[in-house]
Amino acid sequence: MIRPILKYGDNPLHEPALSVEAFTSDVDRIIGDLVDTMYAAPGIGLAAPQVGIPLRIFVIDLSLGHDPNGLLVMVNPEFVEREGMQLEDEGCLSVPGFNATVARPARAIVKGWNREGQEQIIEGNGLLARCFQHEIDHLDGTLFVDRLRGLQKDLIVRKIKKLSRSGKW
Protein backbone atom coordinates (compact mmCIF):
# COMPACT_ATOMS: atom_id res chain seq x y z
CA MET A 1 0.00 0.00 0.00
CA ILE A 2 1.26 3.41 -0.94
CA ARG A 3 1.29 5.73 2.07
CA PRO A 4 1.48 9.52 2.07
CA ILE A 5 5.03 10.83 2.63
CA LEU A 6 5.40 13.32 5.46
CA LYS A 7 7.20 16.59 4.85
CA TYR A 8 9.70 18.67 6.78
CA GLY A 9 7.86 20.04 9.83
CA ASP A 10 5.63 16.96 10.33
CA ASN A 11 6.06 14.56 13.24
CA PRO A 12 7.44 11.91 13.78
CA LEU A 13 9.95 12.99 11.11
CA HIS A 14 11.89 15.03 13.67
CA GLU A 15 11.97 12.48 16.50
CA PRO A 16 14.18 9.41 17.04
CA ALA A 17 12.48 6.17 15.98
CA LEU A 18 12.18 3.04 18.15
CA SER A 19 13.87 -0.31 17.57
CA VAL A 20 11.80 -3.13 16.11
CA GLU A 21 11.33 -5.72 18.87
CA ALA A 22 9.86 -8.60 16.86
CA PHE A 23 9.26 -9.58 13.24
CA THR A 24 5.47 -9.53 13.34
CA SER A 25 3.08 -9.49 10.40
CA ASP A 26 2.61 -5.75 11.12
CA VAL A 27 6.33 -5.16 10.62
CA ASP A 28 6.24 -7.14 7.38
CA ARG A 29 3.29 -5.07 6.17
CA ILE A 30 5.08 -1.83 7.04
CA ILE A 31 8.12 -2.98 5.03
CA GLY A 32 5.84 -3.79 2.08
CA ASP A 33 4.26 -0.34 2.32
CA LEU A 34 7.68 1.32 2.46
CA VAL A 35 8.76 -0.52 -0.70
CA ASP A 36 5.51 0.36 -2.54
CA THR A 37 5.73 4.00 -1.46
CA MET A 38 9.42 4.31 -2.41
CA TYR A 39 8.85 2.90 -5.90
CA ALA A 40 5.74 5.00 -6.44
CA ALA A 41 7.46 8.26 -5.44
CA PRO A 42 9.89 7.32 -7.11
CA GLY A 43 12.85 7.46 -4.77
CA ILE A 44 16.02 5.50 -4.05
CA GLY A 45 15.40 5.30 -0.30
CA LEU A 46 12.66 5.66 2.29
CA ALA A 47 12.63 5.41 6.08
CA ALA A 48 9.60 4.42 8.18
CA PRO A 49 9.31 7.82 9.97
CA GLN A 50 8.75 9.39 6.54
CA VAL A 51 5.39 7.60 6.35
CA GLY A 52 4.57 8.38 9.98
CA ILE A 53 5.81 5.13 11.53
CA PRO A 54 8.38 5.73 14.30
CA LEU A 55 10.29 2.47 13.81
CA ARG A 56 13.92 1.85 12.84
CA ILE A 57 13.34 0.48 9.33
CA PHE A 58 14.48 1.76 5.95
CA VAL A 59 14.46 0.51 2.38
CA ILE A 60 16.88 1.42 -0.42
CA ASP A 61 16.94 0.56 -4.11
CA LEU A 62 19.49 2.46 -6.14
CA SER A 63 18.07 0.86 -9.33
CA LEU A 64 14.56 2.27 -8.67
CA GLY A 65 13.19 -1.25 -9.07
CA HIS A 66 14.92 -2.04 -12.38
CA ASP A 67 17.34 -4.55 -10.87
CA PRO A 68 15.47 -7.55 -9.31
CA ASN A 69 18.25 -7.80 -6.70
CA GLY A 70 18.38 -4.06 -6.06
CA LEU A 71 16.09 -3.90 -3.04
CA LEU A 72 17.71 -3.56 0.37
CA VAL A 73 15.59 -3.77 3.53
CA MET A 74 17.25 -2.78 6.80
CA VAL A 75 15.69 -3.21 10.22
CA ASN A 76 17.41 -1.80 13.33
CA PRO A 77 20.48 -0.68 11.34
CA GLU A 78 23.72 0.33 13.02
CA PHE A 79 26.98 1.61 11.61
CA VAL A 80 29.84 -0.85 11.94
CA GLU A 81 32.30 1.41 10.19
CA ARG A 82 32.37 4.77 8.43
CA GLU A 83 35.26 6.41 6.68
CA GLY A 84 36.21 9.13 4.27
CA MET A 85 34.09 12.01 3.11
CA GLN A 86 32.12 12.88 -0.01
CA LEU A 87 30.40 16.10 -0.98
CA GLU A 88 27.46 15.63 -3.35
CA ASP A 89 24.13 17.19 -4.09
CA GLU A 90 21.35 15.56 -2.09
CA GLY A 91 17.58 15.69 -1.86
CA CYS A 92 14.84 13.98 0.13
CA LEU A 93 11.25 12.88 -0.57
CA SER A 94 10.27 14.71 2.65
CA VAL A 95 11.84 17.96 1.43
CA PRO A 96 10.50 18.10 -2.15
CA GLY A 97 11.90 20.75 -4.44
CA PHE A 98 15.09 21.37 -2.46
CA ASN A 99 18.63 20.11 -2.92
CA ALA A 100 21.89 20.90 -1.21
CA THR A 101 25.45 19.68 -0.99
CA VAL A 102 25.85 17.53 2.11
CA ALA A 103 29.02 16.02 3.58
CA ARG A 104 28.68 12.25 3.97
CA PRO A 105 31.04 9.32 4.56
CA ALA A 106 32.59 7.91 1.37
CA ARG A 107 32.25 4.36 2.69
CA ALA A 108 29.96 2.89 5.32
CA ILE A 109 29.32 -0.60 6.64
CA VAL A 110 25.90 -1.16 8.16
CA LYS A 111 24.66 -4.07 10.22
CA GLY A 112 20.97 -4.82 10.64
CA TRP A 113 18.28 -7.35 9.94
CA ASN A 114 16.64 -8.15 6.62
CA ARG A 115 12.91 -8.61 6.03
CA GLU A 116 13.10 -12.21 7.28
CA GLY A 117 14.79 -11.17 10.51
CA GLN A 118 18.24 -12.48 9.56
CA GLU A 119 21.33 -10.47 10.35
CA GLN A 120 23.04 -8.85 7.38
CA ILE A 121 26.16 -6.72 7.09
CA ILE A 122 26.37 -4.55 3.99
CA GLU A 123 29.17 -2.35 2.74
CA GLY A 124 28.30 0.75 0.80
CA ASN A 125 30.56 3.02 -1.20
CA GLY A 126 29.71 6.30 -2.88
CA LEU A 127 25.96 6.69 -3.39
CA LEU A 128 25.07 3.69 -1.19
CA ALA A 129 27.20 5.03 1.69
CA ARG A 130 25.44 8.37 1.26
CA CYS A 131 22.02 6.67 1.33
CA PHE A 132 22.93 4.68 4.45
CA GLN A 133 23.81 7.88 6.28
CA HIS A 134 20.75 9.74 4.95
CA GLU A 135 18.31 6.95 5.96
CA ILE A 136 19.86 6.28 9.37
CA ASP A 137 19.67 10.03 9.96
CA HIS A 138 15.92 9.75 9.35
CA LEU A 139 15.73 7.10 12.09
CA ASP A 140 17.41 9.58 14.44
CA GLY A 141 15.01 12.39 13.50
CA THR A 142 17.55 14.23 11.35
CA LEU A 143 16.87 15.51 7.85
CA PHE A 144 19.56 16.63 5.38
CA VAL A 145 18.45 20.22 5.98
CA ASP A 146 19.45 19.82 9.65
CA ARG A 147 22.99 18.97 8.53
CA LEU A 148 23.39 22.22 6.61
CA ARG A 149 24.85 25.31 8.18
CA GLY A 150 24.38 29.05 8.03
CA LEU A 151 22.87 30.79 5.05
CA GLN A 152 22.21 27.61 3.05
CA LYS A 153 20.08 26.18 5.86
CA ASP A 154 18.31 29.48 6.65
CA LEU A 155 17.34 29.92 3.04
CA ILE A 156 15.70 26.48 2.73
CA VAL A 157 13.95 26.71 6.12
CA ARG A 158 12.66 30.19 5.27
CA LYS A 159 11.30 29.04 1.91
CA ILE A 160 9.59 26.01 3.53
CA LYS A 161 7.98 28.25 6.18
CA LYS A 162 6.74 30.56 3.47
CA LEU A 163 5.25 27.62 1.51
CA SER A 164 3.66 26.32 4.74
CA ARG A 165 2.05 29.65 5.50
CA SER A 166 0.52 29.80 2.04
CA GLY A 167 -0.70 26.19 2.30
CA LYS A 168 1.59 24.95 -0.47
CA TRP A 169 3.72 22.60 1.66
Q: Please, what is the minimum distance in Å from the beta carbon of residue 93 to Zn ion?
A: 6
What is the helix, strand, coil percentage profile of the chain, to 5? 30, 25, 40
Q: How far is CA 77 from CA 1, 27, 34, 135, in A?
A: 23, 15, 16, 10
Q: Please, what is the minimum distance in Å from the beta carbon of residue 95 to Zn ion?
A: 7
Q: Which residue, judged by CB position, is nearest to Zn ion in the bound state?
A: 92
Q: Which is nearer to Zn ion, 92 or 136 (CB)?
A: 92
Q: Tell which one of 20, 92, 108, 131 touches Zn ion (CB under 5 A).
A: 92
Q: How far is CA 118 from CA 17, 124, 137, 160, in A?
A: 21, 19, 23, 40
The one segment of 34-42, 85-93, 105-113, 157-165 that binds Zn ion by CB under 5 A: 85-93
The SS3 of residue 11 is coil
Q: Please, what is the minimum distance in Å from the beta carbon of residue 51 to Zn ion?
A: 12
Is residue 5 at the binding interface for Zn ion, with CB under 5 A as the rule? Answer: no
Report which of 92, 101, 95 is spatially closest to residue 163, judged by C-alpha positions.
95
Q: Which residues are catalytic?
A: 135
Binding residues (CB under 5 A) for Zn ion: these are 92
